[in-house]
Amino acid sequence: MSPPLPFPAESPRLDRRQFLETLGGLVLVASAAGIVKAEDARKYGADAMPHGVSDDPLTFISIGEDGIVTVVVHRSEMGQGVRTGLPLIIADELEADWSKVRVKQAPADEAKFGNQNTDGSRSVRHFVDPMRRCGAAARTMLEAAAAATWKVPVQSVRAVNHEVIHTESGRKLGYGALARAAAQLPVPPRESLKLKQPSQFRYIGKDGTPMLDGPDIAHGRAQYGIDVRVEGMLYAVIARSPVFGGKVARFDPAEALKIPGVVKVIEIPGTPIPSEFQPLNGVAVVAQDTWTAIKARQALKIEWNDGVHGSYDSTAYRAELEQAVRKPGTVAREVGDVDAAMAKAARKVQAEYYLPHIAHATMEPPNATARIVNGHCEVWAPTQAPQGTREDVAKRLGLPFEKVTVHVTLLGGGFGRKSKHDFAIEAALLSQQMGGRPVKVTWTREDDLHHDFFHTVSVEGLHAGLDAQGKPTAWLHRSAAPTIISTFAPDPKHEAPFELGMGVVNVPFQIPNMRMENPPAAAHTRIGWFRSVSNVPHAFAVQSFVAELAAASGRDHRDYLLDLIGPARRIDPGALQDSWNHDESPQRYPFDTGRLRRVIEIATREAGWGRKLPKGSGLGLAAHYSFVSYTAAVVEVQVGAQGEIVIPRVDIAFDCGPQVYPDRIRSQLEGAAIMGMSLAMLGEITFKKGRVEQDNFHAYPVTRLSEAPRDIRVHLVPTSDWSMPLGGVGEPGLPPIAPALCNAIFAATAKRIRRLPIGNQLASA
Amino acid sequence: MELTVNGTGMNVTATDDTPLLWALRDHLGLTGTKFGCGMALCGACTVHIDGEPARACVTPISAVAGKKIVTIEGVSATQQGKALQEAWIQMNVPQCGYCQSGQIMSAAALLAVNAKPDDSDIDGAMSGNICRCGTYPRIRAAIKRAAGQLEKKP
């Protein structure tokens, strides 16, 4: 997810931009204001992102005289494999020998590299074509250089595995020998490039490419943000306002300053809400090492003014959201007449689903290092948003953009947390206060859990009217959750189109009467995107509810779900009132129900859907479309006599279109299964008096090895059709896991879980 | 205070209560050992002290004077460490990689006392190490692979 534009969200129906027609390749759109001129037509995909893409081979590729190819990676590595995935695309078109490929991380500079904002499952989806063109252009230049050296027509030479060969004579020249001459040649025009046929790929779509960072990680040499060491560096930790929007009333640093090794105590000013990615008000201790800073922070005496959110209580707030979904809300999509159909229904079913706040809890907590030399600020940060970090540091320090450099380190996990670079601004402010001396800010785990940009909390109210055969004739979904927009705009009360487009409105069920509503909900803490964002609560509710309807009708869940989806067809997302569609073109990326059906069929077949299981065991299914990819999961669960849950196996079928790096696609889905299990079973952040109640992993547990599924089977839907656009990978695996698990628990025990986390709810059964 | 880390004597000027983690990272520049929780809850800081796995974040340096400390930077000197690192690389175990130093150190301590661990042995030895990316199935498989490789060696 990128920082969403703080567009008004009061009325999604009015703000919706809807497709009318396509004329001469120009898309005309309608808005509340009427027809918008074609030149204002909305852009999609990479073109919709700030600074778009670059495909300049001289920016991304350098070749040494020793033949070593160095590929610049401009997206942040947080475990998704992008530092290997993008280079392998280039290496393939370049005909490079993988053993001679190295990687270099780009600093923040979107004008040069194209968009660097690493979220929304976009890196490979948006950069596969530019990276292919880069590789092909460099290959063409090497071939031209060889042809010129031999004074033969360029058509008579070809690049094969790090050499250019003159076919007739058998002469060969290695890339190292050609590099200097090739770099002097003009970059061939884009339209002249000859890309490989997919059948010629060496690395793309193939197994067996090891991660470039693997050896460094295994030997403890990999450099994360927290590992940065700069000559003369000091170490800081910060006591931040325990309540969002709270302020330091007064503080006494005297005891802290008495501790040997403490250098300075500095107040960091806050920013009024909505504070975007600015630091919270706090008091920093700067010391000679991290431990001294941590100890001295405990010795600070601080009085806080809690401000408007000092009474935030998550238990009371849950009741407030429940009340909200019991009343009508803003209509986001309406088909037919739901009220009339409900009145006529043979049977009505309703349920409410709750997902609490959750924290990202990246294993590397937020941290950053900064120094200022001669008016130039250098920042080292594990950031998902390099350019945003650079812009915000420059603004906050009052420096021109050019006077800030952001070095992007490896990220020890991101999941959306490190898209919000408050930690980098803190480091820059502290360095400024220390006369430019390098300062590293480290967040402790307690800081991380107390001051996250939390995943929203939600109540989803679902109602269906069924006919005598159990087929739904009416569907009403009320979704209430504080919006991410609250981080950017003053006190919005409604989910934005991009949130409702994550599984509230874009439900492809063939039900004649449907209404999706969004009752109001205010934010009382920092809300931010967490891996898969609003898809998580929405898929939990919708996919659980369908299983409830199947059970109420005495039907097999898979068959019931496939019937609801109906036949294979390609739906314009606009027809589902989804104006967002993950910012992708509705023509290139329609909602393809055939693909959704196929992943359901594959996951259930591979999992042995319908197989006989012992008492207390069950299979559960869920499927979801997100980040323009299709995922279905079948979870097998065993529930013990005391309600203890064991998950022996998970089958995930996944269709993201053409696959670049299958091993990292599988690893993302394996990880999503485990993270999904964490949030389903354990994850919950609660607030009392505005303060987070969880301090560390004992109170905010995450799934451990002994609890994780032993057997996660990933079934990738193969395609050789490279005319199909790519889907996202990092996020779409997560949303179906929690509902599939809860559906499996129902199959095993007849107990329906509607509130996450599951915790000990089964123990009381 | 003198610490023996990866076979080398090193001088640290820090207060006695300084956890070994911060002495390694801030004072000795051995940043392979990671900070994750500060309360021995996540295992990211796992090192070996006289061959036993220990959480460096709650081990004050005063407690390890005169003992042999091995970190991820030195564990390839042991046959278990080396075999595990190779298995980790071959099986593409890591995602973000941040917790993997601690995972490998816990696994090396396991293989040192149990050459052929079964699933419940692995559960017991590895459940103190959190991986938020969810690499557990590959960690389990890589430990078994390393154990198999070690068994083949004379």
The CATH number of whichever domain residue B120 belongs to comes to 1.10.150.120
Can you tell me the mean pLDDT for B61-65? 97
Token representation of residue A479: 């979704």
Nearest CA in chain A to B123: A706
- Find residue A649's DSSP bridge partners: A636, A711
Residues of chain A with pLDDT under 50: 1-39
Size of interface A-B (CB pairs under 8 A): 188
Among A218, A251, A281, the domain-final residue is: A218
Among A417, A442, A467, the domain-final residue is: A442
Same-domain pairing of A697 and A648: yes
Same-domain pairing of B95 and B145: yes
Is residue A200 one of the residues assigned to a domain? yes
Which domain does B148 fall in, by range?
Answer: 75-152
Same-domain pairing of A240 and A339: no
Q: Is A593 helix (H, G, I), strand (E, B) or coil?
A: helix
Q: What CATH number corresponds to the domain at position A572?
A: 3.30.365.10
Same-domain pairing of B96 and B132: yes
Give B111's pLDDT tier (boundaries 50, 70, 90): very high
Is residue A34 one of the residues assigned to a domain? no
Q: What is the predicted pLDDT for the residue at A764? A: 65
Number of domains in chain A: 3
pLDDT in tens, B13-54: 999 999 999 999 999 999 999 999 999 999 999 999 999 999
Same-domain pairing of B80 and B148: yes
Same-domain pairing of A478 and A571: yes
Same-domain pairing of A241 and A103: no
Same-domain pairing of B140 and B105: yes
Residues with Cβ within 8 Å of A37's Cβ and at least 6 positions away in sequence, in order, are: none
All residues of chain A having their beta carbon less than 8 Å from the beta carbon of residue B41 are 696-698
Same-domain pairing of A523 and A606: yes
Q: For residue B65, is pLDDT > 90?
A: yes
* In chain B, % of residues over pLDDT 90: 99
Q: What is the predicted pLDDT for the residue at B154? A: 64
All residues of chain B having their beta carbon less than 8 Å from the beta carbon of residue A673 are 134
Question: Using the beta-carbon criterion (under 8 Å), do A260 and B15 form an inter-chain contact?
Answer: yes
CA angle A235, A236, A241 (to 5 degrees): 170
Same-domain pairing of B81 and B147: yes
Same-domain pairing of A303 and A318: no
Which stretch of DSSP H or E encloses residue A142?
Answer: helix A123-150
Among B70, B90, B122, the domain-final residue is: B70
Q: What is the predicted pLDDT for the residue at A41? A: 82
Q: For residue B152, is pLDDT > 80?
A: yes
Same-domain pairing of A497 and A548: yes
Is residue A334 one of the residues assigned to a domain? yes
Is some CB atom of chain A closer than 8 A to the CB atom of B78? no
CA distance A151 to A647: 66
Same-domain pairing of A183 and A87: yes
Residues with Cβ within 8 Å of A720's Cβ and at least 6 positions away in sequence, in order, are: A198, A199, A658
Q: What is the predicted pLDDT for the residue at A39? A: 46
Inter-helix orientation angle B100-113/B136-152, to 10°: 40
Is residue A30 one of the residues assigned to a domain? no
Entry pTM: 0.95
All residues of chain A having their beta carbon less than 8 Å from the beta carbon of residue B47 are none
Residues with Cβ within 8 Å of A379's Cβ and at least 6 positions away in sequence, in order, are: A368, A369, A370, A389, A390, A393, A404, A405, A406, A407, A424, A427, A428
Among B70, B100, B128, the domain-final residue is: B70
CA distance A405 to A418: 18
Query: B59, B133, B138: which to substitute to probe chain A, counting the most A Cβ within 10 Å?
Result: B133
Question: Using the beta-carbon criterion (under 8 Å), do A671 and B135 form an inter-chain contact?
Answer: yes
Among A202, A218, A234, the domain-final residue is: A218
Same-domain pairing of A211 and A240: no
Can you tell me the mean pLDDT for B113-121? 98
Number of domains in chain B: 2
Q: What is the predicted pLDDT for the residue at A4? A: 34
Question: Using the beta-carbon criterion (under 8 Å), do B97 and A213 form an inter-chain contact?
Answer: yes
Which domain does A161 fall in, by range?
Answer: 57-218
Q: What is the predicted pLDDT for the residue at A670? A: 98
Q: For residue B148, is pLDDT > 70?
A: yes
Same-domain pairing of A294 and A342: no
* Residue A399 CB neighbours (<10 A): 17
pLDDT in tens, A211-269: 999 999 999 999 999 999 999 999 999 999 999 999 999 999 999 999 999 999 999 99
Is residue A26 one of the residues assigned to a domain? no
Same-domain pairing of B14 and B61: yes
Same-domain pairing of B79 and B104: yes
Q: What CATH number corresponds to the domain at position B10?
A: 3.10.20.30
Among B70, B91, B121, the domain-final residue is: B70
Same-domain pairing of B44 and B101: no
CA distance B86 to chain A (A): 8
DSSP secondary-structure letter at A53?
B
Same-domain pairing of A377 and A464: no
Give B153's pLDDT tier (boundaries 50, 70, 90): confident
DSSP secondary-structure letter at A399?
-
CA distance A577 to chain B (A): 34
Q: What is the predicted pLDDT for the residue at A19? A: 26
Of residues B89, B128, B134, nearest to A674 (C-beta): B134
CA distance B69 to chain A (A): 15
Same-domain pairing of A287 and A140: no
Is residue A11 one of the residues assigned to a domain? no
Question: Using the beta-carbon criterion (under 8 Å), do B132 and A361 form an inter-chain contact?
Answer: yes
Same-domain pairing of B107 and B58: no
